Amino acid sequence: MNKQKKKFVLAEATVDEINKQLKINMLVIVMLIFMLVLNATQFMRDYSLLYGALIAIMAFFLFIMAKSRTLLTMRKQELTQ
């Protein structure tokens, strides 16, 4: 019986697991961009502080996701060489 890993550990990941995480990462990035655009259009319409805060939060999460994607691609390059 193979034991399932409880969580993703980058140091122990295989190339297939990293590819899977990269696909998930891209999906999350697309969703964040979509939400950011929706919040920006709503902010332009209402000039609400809530939508301004949501834009800032989404931009922060987008930055974090871009950094994690960079780490994943660097690890993938290390494993493929």
Predicted pLDDT of residue 58: 94
Structure tokens at 45: 């319409």
Measure the CA angle with vertex 65, ends 60 and 67; round to 5°.
Answer: 95
Predicted pLDDT of residue 81: 86
Alpha-carbon span 72 to 13, nearest angstrom: 10
Helix, strand, coil % in the chain, rounded to nearest 5: 85, 0, 15
Residues of the chain with pLDDT under 70: 1-5
Predicted TM-score (pTM) of the model is 0.82
Query: For residue 64, what are the contacts with CB-CB under 8 A and spacing of at least 6?
Result: none
Predicted pLDDT of residue 57: 95
Predicted pLDDT of residue 5: 63
